[in-house]
Amino acid sequence: MSRDVVTLAVMTNRMEGVVRKMTNTLFRTARSTVLNTARDFSCCIVTANHEMLVMAESLPIHVISGPDTISRWLRRFHPNPRRGDAFIHNSPYHGNSHAGDHCIVVPVIDDAGAHRATALVKAHMADIGNSEPTTLMATARDVYEEGALIFPCVKIQEDYSDVEDVVRMCMSRIRVPEDWYGDYIGMIGAARVGERELLKVGEEVGWDAFDDYVADWLDYSEERMRATIRELPAGSRTGHDIHDAVPLRGVEDGVPLEVTVSVDPQAAEIEIDLRNNPDCLPCGLNLTESTSVTSALIGVFNSIEDRVPRNTGSGRAVKVLLRENCCVGIPVHPASCSMATSGIAERLAGIVQRAMAEFRDGLGMAATGPECPPAVAGLSGRDPRHGDAPFVDMMILGNSGGAGHPHGDGWMTNGETSDGGSMMRDSTEVLELLRPIRVWADRIVPDTEGAGRFRGAPSLYIEYGPVDTELEVLYAADGTVNPALGVRGGQSGALCRPALRRADGEVVELEAWARVVLAPGETVISISSGGGGYGPSHERDVQRVLRDVTDGWVSVKRASEVYGVVLGEDGLLDNDATSARREQLAASAAGSPAAGNEAADAARAVHGSEGDPVLALTEPGTRLWPSAPSSS
Amino acid sequence: MAVATERMVQAIEEITVNQGVDPRSAVLVGGGGAAGLNAVAIARRLGSRRVVIPQAGAVLSARGALMSDLTSEYAAALFTGSDDFDHAGAQAVLDGLRARCEQFAQRNGAAEAEVEFVAEARYRHQVWQLDVRLREGRLATPVELAALIEDFHSIHDEVYAVRDERAVIEVVNLRARVNCPLQGGVEDTVAMAQGHASGGMRGVYFSGIGAVNAAIVRLEAMTPAAQFAGPAIVESSFTTVVLPPGATAERTASGSLAIAPGALELAGAGDEATEAVG
């Protein structure tokens, strides 16, 4: 049968509509800010043959690869699912991203009892019962020390009613159980809305027509992907990066990473080899099978045209080589994968993007800012405004980090590469209403961008602390030593810098991996990593540099030194001096700093001897835009 | 056209299904100059059993403004939870809103006025509210609060497929809406243009069906309440409406076109006119 493209488009719109309805349900019903404001969750539809079909605006790291594997495990553990069943799943050894993401998996069963598709909701929970009140534990030596309940496809609803035994286990183990339960039923609602809509589709178009559509859509996606790969240059590139050290034996020197990307335009295939990486690490940084494959694919999708659908179909054209017991591969129980959606995942996508950029100018991207600064943290404590009721939540506020790419600057609100800009940042006002905290400052730090023809996003300065109570803050910050790398002559972004302001005003540095209890009057200062730049900075469009100067994002001094854009005493562009300076920069231009000491030194030198803009910002009474020209 | 139809369907479902309104029990009104091209196709996908193209549908908003009742809405913040409900505070806010509604009616010389009250409510720690109509417009007693709680659970279940009987329900805002019916001032219809006659047949291609002969009908020349069946194209001074095979229509007394869309044919792309030939 020849393909009916209109039916394809109509059905795909309809499927995406189903996923959006699921998304809307959880977004509007959830209790934790990580879900109802930051939208750190995903919804998708998986086929009965375990293929990822539609993800709409879900987070790439949650769904590109993983739900397919979860669907396989579901059928292995529960060969005959029935209508009304729902399963809770978070096992990092059975296709999940990391234990902190709870999945609700609802098999869609037709009237004859056959399993036709699966509606899957995956949400980053405020708490999962870890040994510490955070879902991101870089310092957990294994899954036991991590401590969460692990659910490998456990039945939590039968005949549309809770299996109370399992709910009781969660309510006994997860902090602030009422909020977990509220988030849980929001996920159930989202999955049931998906189920309802899919049953309607089956009833209206017939399940056989649905299966035809699925086959067509996945084949079409594969063809689009292969057509794109045919246009790429042939060859192979190996890229490197280093994840910062963790204060545990075996990881105290950081984690060196290597990826080889091979493009074969004739076979229309890309192969990504992740096998030459360290064995599973004795800490929470290990990736899962899902996030290893997904991060590699994110790097590819970020490097090519953006209209290739992301699903199992397009994924067929990319082969990701993994090995067992590898920190970027298939983890072996009891390795901890607590940080599997950020830390190394961010570095991995960055290496792939940079490797793609090395093939040809106009491809790939620089690296985004490493995660997570202390404004992306587990918060917990008691709220004096509500009779000291306990709370626990994930704050998603202070990361920017977008990477420069061939066609534009890094996104200021990129957040993590792994979420592809799909997540939102917390609303300061909502956060302050819901939790006893105040956000004292939220601003851009000048001169922190990875310079380039297209620059990375600058760092964010966030300062927050408790109000009339103590606040426990847990964070795991990569990027305090190894910056986001530039590519094709682009520079590294600034380093992440955690600090604490004592009640008497003194500012002290914090560790990269910390659990801090703030007393009333104390604040945490979170400076996120800047994104890497793409291409040489002296090639940057002069008008763009001038706008950055006007906006206060780049100082006059840096504009001249790094971009070769010279302003006169009157604040206007000095054309002659600019031409001369740009020639000089072009003659002495070196490549992008390499991973390791070279990049680390370069990143530190940006804020070296004089006028550290970060320290300047910590001064009480600092103006919001220190380097902005005064307006009349 | 099929893709445009599907997009419209998704957009309408966002504001119906997602808000707990079932489009199958709703009448689809086609406004704007192009609505007549695929209004029937949209209705079929939504499962709506009736489509109305108002006489002045092509200028729907402007016309609507001229013929609407006078209404106004007032809102006031009130933050209280079902675990320790502030009955006195809530009732005081409602009384204040009622007074403002009555002043509005009085100021505008309305002979009669209806006032309806809504609570914007949520489960504690949610950040998005649902509107719950207050059955008696009061929250002074535990019985009136119990009705609000019961209705909130039901609406939450209807819209989001789940309810949480254990959770505290918070009221965030209270709103009142006053409606003063217009006193016989404005005509419901505009004068029909005269001198147009229905005329002839035209070859029309419907995807999934093929080329058929469709009657060309002038709205002004139609006999009110007389049923006729598609395929047809209805033309008026305002707009053009495509009536695919299977749909039937009649001109109402007010000059609008009322359409029964007919059965939904499967495979989504099926049955709307993709182009008119001849």
Interface-testing mutation among A5, A12, A13, with chain B (most B C-beta atoms within 10 A) = A13
Looking at this protein, which amino acid is placed at residue A207?
W
Q: What percent of chain B has pLDDT over 70?
A: 88
Give the C-alpha separation, B266 to B269, whole Å.
8
Contact criterion met (CB below 8 Å) for A240 and A595: yes
Residues of chain B with CATH 3.30.1490: 69-180
- Taking contacts as CB-CB distances below 8 angstroms, the residues of chain A near B125 are 31-32, 179, 182, 434
Nearest to A513, CA basis, from A328, A334, A371: A371
Q: Is there a contact between A205 and B125 if contact means CB atoms under 8 Å apart?
A: no
pLDDT tens readout for residues B213-272: 998 988 888 888 888 888 999 988 888 999 999 999 999 888 889 999 986 444 344 334
Residue A398 in this model has a pLDDT that exceeds 80: no
Cα radius of gyration rounded to whole Å, chain B: 24
The tokens of A368 are what?
Answer: 């985004």
Using a CB–CB cutoff of 8 Å, tell me whether A29 touches chain B: yes
Residue B275 confidence class, pLDDT cut points 50, 70, 90: very low
Instruction: Give A-chain residues touching B38 at CB under 8 angstroms.
Output: none
**pLDDT at position B18:** 58
Q: Does domain B69-180 have CATH number 3.30.1490?
A: yes
Give the global pTM: 0.83
Of A10, A178, A204, the CB nearest to B3: A10
B76-106 pLDDT, tens per residue?
Answer: 999 999 999 999 999 999 999 999 999 999 9
Identify from A2, A20, A22, A28 which residue to disrupt to test chain B contact, counting B C-beta atoms within 10 A and taking the largest count: A28
Give burial (CB, 10 Å; 0-12/13-18/19+) of B210.
exposed
| pLDDT of the residue at B1 | 83
Separation in Å, CA of A121 to nearest CA in chain B: 14
**Strand order from edge to edge, sheet including B273-276:** B240-243, B232-235, B210-218, B201-206, B273-276
pLDDT of residue A505: 83
Q: Mean pLDDT for chain A? A: 92
Name the residue with higher pLDDT: B61 or B92. B92
Cβ-defined contact of A205 to B161 (cutoff 8 Å): no
Q: Cβ of A7 and B268 within 8 Å?
A: yes
- What was the pLDDT predicted at A3? 67
Q: Which amino acid is at A72?
A: R
Taking 60 as the threshold, does the pLDDT of residue A86 lie above it? Answer: yes
Instruction: Round to whole Å and give the CA distance between A411 and A531.
Output: 9
Least confident residue range of A168-172, A252-256, B33-37: B33-37
- Residue A631 has a pLDDT of 38
Which 8-state DSSP code applies to residue A539?
A: G
A521 backbone dihedrals φ, ψ, rounded to 5°: 95, -15
Among B14, B124, B269, the residue with its CB nearest the CB of A7 is B269
Is A84 within 8 Å of chain B by CB?
A: no
Give the pLDDT confidence score for residue B272 in this predicted structure. Answer: 40
Do the beta carbons of residue B87 and residue B191 sit within 8 Å?
Answer: no
Q: Do residue A10 and residue B13 have CB atoms under 8 angstroms apart?
A: no
Contacts of B133 (CB under 8 A, 6+ apart): B116, B117, B118, B151
Q: Is the pLDDT of residue A627 over 60?
A: no
* A79 pLDDT more than 80: yes
Residue-level pLDDT at B34? 86
* Number of other residues whose CB lies within 10 A of the CB of residue A535: 25
Q: Given an 8 Å threshold on Cβ–Cβ distance, is B267 in contact with A25?
A: no
How many residues belong to chain B? 278
For A575, half-sphere exposure in the C-beta direction (CA atoms, 13 angstrom radius) is 0
ipTM: 0.81
Inspect the interface and report whether the beta carbons of B128 and A36 lie closer than 8 Å. Answer: yes
Task: For residue A20, give the chain B residue with the closest CA.
Answer: B14
Contact A29 B126 (CB under 8 A): yes
Report residue A617's pLDDT band, with 50, 70 and 90 as the boundaries: low
- A to B CB pairs, distance under 8 Å: 97
pLDDT at A620: 54
Strands B169-180 and B70-81 come out as: antiparallel
* Average pLDDT value for residue range B109-138: 93
Q: Please report the pLDDT score of residue A614 as a whole number.
A: 64
Is pLDDT above 70 for A504?
yes
- CA distance to A405, A446, A561, A571, A578, per residue, from A582 (Å): 21, 22, 9, 18, 6
Q: Is the pLDDT of residue A519 over 70?
A: yes
Q: How far apart are CA B273 and CA B246, in angstroms?
A: 13
Residue of A nearest to B270 (CA): A7
